[in-house]
Amino acid sequence: MDDRPLSGREELVDVRRQLLAGDVSPPGAADGVGASWQRVQRAGLSPGLCAADAMLDAVSLQLAREENERLIAFALPELENLHQQIAGSGSAVLLADAHGVILERQGDPGFRERSRQVALSPGACWGEGARGTNAIGVALAEGRCASVHGPEHFLECNTFLTCAATPIRDPGGGIIGLLDVSGDQPARQLHALGLVRMGARMIENRMLAAEFPEAIYLHFHARPELLGTLGEGIAAVDGDGRLLALNAVARSHFANLAPGTGFEALFEGSLEHLLRGDSISQMIRTTTGITVCVRVIKPQQHGAAHSVHLADAGHARSQDQFSELHAGDPAVAETLQRAQRVFARGIPLLIEGETGTGKEWAARALHALGPRSDGPLVTVNCAAIPEGLAEAELFGYVPGAFTGASASGADGRVMEANGGTLFLDEIGDMPLALQTRLLRVIQERSVLPVGGGAPREVDFSLISATNCDLAAMVAEGRFRADLYYRLCGLRIQLPSLRSRADLAGLIDRFIADEDPQAALSAVAREKLLGHHWPGNLRELHNVLRTAIALREPGRPIDIADLPETLMANTAPVPLDVGGASDDLRAAERRCMEAAVAAHDGNYSAAARSLGISRSTLYRRLGRGDNG
Ligand SMILES: Nc1ncnc2c1ncn2[C@@H]1O[C@H](COP(=O)(O)OP(=O)(O)OP(=O)(O)O)[C@@H](O)[C@H]1O
């Protein structure tokens, strides 16, 4: 790790002057920078070069992405997480393949234009041979994490950049890609290196967990409280205890252990003994003489891996399924494709969006394409379960668990999702006490019914949806942070209807689906295109269905067939929910209040205009449904 004191721009300019003069290790230069300059100078590069040609064309980039599909699927959630952590700092998070070609990029809009000018974008190769000394190039050449600051970059055009990169390795230790954080901050960003290292370890651990469907995974750490953190070692062994693979921590612990090595080379005692013991944690000694706490994860508890084989079939079907969810909006199409790739790997999804943006429809399509599409899709509306019954409803109960309980007990919704997908709708409304229980179920993949009895193992894919800003709720202590991170392997945002590029196409398609004979007058079309759509797809659907029913037979849908809300010449509700940090629920509330005001306090009419039920409107506005 780069532990030099922070140095200013002038010192780095001085470092550059010395490097240009041929100094191999000028004082203050980052590790590996001097050696890298030597390599690139030997290769004949000159600092004034512009490496515009080291760029894949669209077809080659597509091929590179397909070749690295597995890496991308596991890395995308991490790119997303890292980006959230550095958002607003004028930076981008990049994923490169094993040759240094950038495959994916998540970045601040403000930094996008500047970084594009030097091709810090998908398709560009950032190996040393193409772009001289830079963090991706050095990390690749030296096989370790690297940071390169401003003037330490070899090419003059890149000297405004500050970059940190680290290799991502397969379980055998080979480099399969690189994770990089780059920005245009003038000062050194020491934490960036720590972030990319953590991100790369997360990706590697996720890939290892999905690599061997039949394996037994042994997670270990000398300190029990640090099990489950990035510091834990992970060893995958087969049923006979033979080593299949180790994660990076375990590789550094058991140096030079090859796959196929017996259990006795790892731990004292036998695998059978370990399997008979407590799966939560047991103490055992490693052959290196350290006592560690081990958590055993058996094959049925880590069902993510079989999804890997199904991913390709899912990909082929996805175009069809997703074409129902949009009418050519490229941003929606790409969001869904990314979600599908990640979900196919057994990674949980969190879908965010205002009410009626199609979160449940998207969940259905993703389930149909997902790794457990043969199993059921079980939807739980977390806002609608009566609080007193919530535990029993979700986790089931044993016979006689409480007054009024069925004599035969009940499985509960989570258990019903076994082998399929659990869809937790309106997750932001789940009470804190239930969040704690749900977290345990997700972590341990077993359910303890209300009233006791033995825990029952359960295996499901997980999708959650919300119209709250969950990250803000976490910051305010209203939602458990550990549960939030478990739920959002990947966070996707469904856009509001008014911001979609395919509104016109959706209108035509809704009409054609409802009544292929129906047409739309030009004025009516203009009204529909100009409306603010606070109720989003649900409202559009309701408006068109009603208009088709009202229109005079044989005549196109006209302005008179549209509801009053579209006619009222009210200014659009200020509803700029574009920013990721905006509170969707606050925006939604403003819309609902505006609709109630527009209908002179008539809740039924306001609810109809929004395309939601009256009780939903009452609930969302925090008023009891007393009428
Ligand atoms: N792709 C679509 N094509 C046609 N209609 C759609 C589509 N997506 C959503 N709708 C319409 O919008 C309605 C609401 O969709 P959905 O329930 O998925 O939204 P949501 O975001 O989950 O809403 P809420 O947050 O209120 O639960 C659907 O019942 C349907 O009428």
What would the pLDDT profile of 526-546 be if each residue is shown by its tens digit? 999 999 999 999 999 999 998
Backbone phi and psi for residue 133, each to the nearest 5 degrees, phi listed first: -65, 120
Ligand 1 atom having least distance to the Cα of 353 = 21
Residue bearing the bigger pLDDT, 209 or 386: 209
For 377-398, what is the mean pLDDT? 84
Residue 212 · residue 303 · CB < 8 Å: no
- For residue 593, the model assigns a pLDDT of 79
Helix (H) or strand (E) holding 114: helix 109-117
Q: Which atom of ligand 1 is nearest to the CA of 513?
A: 4
The domain tally of the chain equals 4
Number of the ligand 1 atom closest to the C-alpha atom of 494: 21
Is the pLDDT at 106 greater than 80? The verdict is: yes
pLDDT, residue 173, reads: 86
| Ligand 1 centroid distance, CA of 76 (Å) | 26
Question: Which distant-in-sequence residues (6+ apart) come within 8 Å of 35 by Cβ?
Answer: 24, 142
Which of 506, 541, 577 for mutating ligand 1's site (highest number of atoms within 8 Å of CB)?
541
pLDDT for res 316: 41
Whether 508 has a pLDDT exceeding 50, the answer reads yes
Domain membership of residue 177 (yes or no) is: yes
Among 344-348, 359-363, 388-392, 436-440, which is the least confidently predicted range?
Answer: 388-392
State which of 469, 493, 517 marks the end of a domain: 493
Co-location of 407 and 520 in the same domain: no
pLDDT band at 6 (very low <50, low <70, confident <90, very high): very low
User: Closest ligand 1 atom, CA of 325?
Assistant: 1
Q: What is the mean pLDDT of residues 391-396?
A: 87
Say what percent of the chain tops pLDDT 70.
Answer: 86
Task: Give the pLDDT confidence of 308-358 residue by residue, as tens digits.
Answer: 333 433 444 445 568 788 888 888 998 998 899 889 888 899 999 999 999
Domain identity same for 32 and 168 = yes
> Given pLDDT bands bounded at 50, 70 and 90, which one contains residue 224?
confident
Q: Which domain holds residue 424?
A: 305-329+345-493
Mean predicted lDDT score pLDDT of the chain: 83
57 and 176 inside one domain: yes
pLDDT higher than threshold 90 for residue 563? no
Is 502 found in the same domain as 470? no
Look at residue 261 and tell me if it is in a domain: yes
pLDDT at 487: 92
Specify the CATH number for the domain of residue 38. Answer: 3.30.450.40
463, 501: one domain: no
Closest CA to 614 of 538, 594, 605: 605
Looking at the structure, tell me whether residues 317 and 423 fall in a common domain. yes
Whether residue 334 lies inside any domain: the answer is no
Same domain, 190 and 226: no
Residue 466: pLDDT band by 50, 70, 90 thresholds?
very high
For residue 100, pLDDT over 70 is answered with: yes
Looking at the domain assignment, is residue 339 inside a domain? no
Are 138 and 275 part of one and the same domain? Answer: no
What is the 325 CA–ligand 1 centroid distance (Å)? Answer: 9
CATH of the domain at 413: 3.40.50.300
Ligand 1 centre from 152 Cα, in Å?
Answer: 52
pLDDT on residue 310: 37
Distances in whole angstroms, Cα of residue 280 to Cα of each of 308, 485, 486: 27, 21, 18
54 and 187 part of one domain: yes
Question: Is there a domain that residue 47 lies in?
Answer: yes
Strand partners, 234: 219
What's the pLDDT score for residue 313? 38
Residues with CB under 6 A from ligand 1: 324-325, 353, 355-361, 425, 465, 467, 537-538, 541
The residues, ordered by sequence, that sit 6+ positions from 269 with a Cβ below 8 Å of its Cβ are 284, 285
Whether 284 maps to a domain, the answer reads yes
| 396 in a structural domain | yes
Q: Per-residue pLDDT for 387 more than 90?
A: no
Please indicate, yes or no, if residue 337 is contained in any of the structural domains: no
Ligand 1 pocket test, candidate residues 329, 360, 544, most atoms within 8 A of CB = 360
Ligand 1: residue whose CA is nearest its atom 30: 538
Last residue of a domain, one of 153, 176, 206: 206
Could you say which of 175, 206, 237 is where a domain stops?
A: 206
Burial call 286-301: b when 16+ CB within 10 Å, e when fewer? beeeeebbbbbbeeeb
d(CA 8, CA 31): 17
Q: Measuring from atom 31 of ligand 1, which residue has the nearest CA?
A: 538
Segment 611-625 shows an average pLDDT of 68
Which of residues 453 and 429 earns the better pLDDT score? 429
Q: Which residues contact 233 (CB under 8 A, 6 or more apart)?
A: 219, 220, 221, 246, 247, 249, 250, 253, 292
Question: Of 350, 329, 323, 333, which is closest to residue 424 (Cα–Cα)?
Answer: 350
Q: Closest Cα to atom 1, ligand 1: which residue? A: 325
pLDDT at site 302: 53
pLDDT mean over 604-621: 73
Q: Which residues pair with 377 in a beta bridge?
A: 421
Query: Which are the contacts of 520, defined by CB distance < 8 A and separation ≥ 6?
Result: 507, 508, 511, 528, 556, 557
Pair (448, 309) in one structural domain? yes
383: pLDDT strictly greater than 70: yes
What pLDDT sits at residue 522?
92
Query: Would the pLDDT of 80 be above 60?
Result: yes
Q: Tell me, what's the pLDDT at 51?
A: 62
Q: How far apart are CA 158 and CA 180, in angstroms?
A: 15
Mean pLDDT in residue range 164-174 = 92
For the chain, counts of helices (H) and of strands (E): 25, 17
CB 33 within 8 A of CB 4: no
Regarding whether 445 and 381 lie in a shared domain, the answer is yes
Which of ligand 1's atoms lies nearest the C-alpha of 351? 21
Query: What is the arithmetic mean of pLDDT over 398-414?
Result: 75
Going by pLDDT thresholds of 50, 70 and 90, the confidence category of residue 189 is low
Quick one: 33 and 136 in the same domain?
yes
Residues β-bridged to residue 493: 352
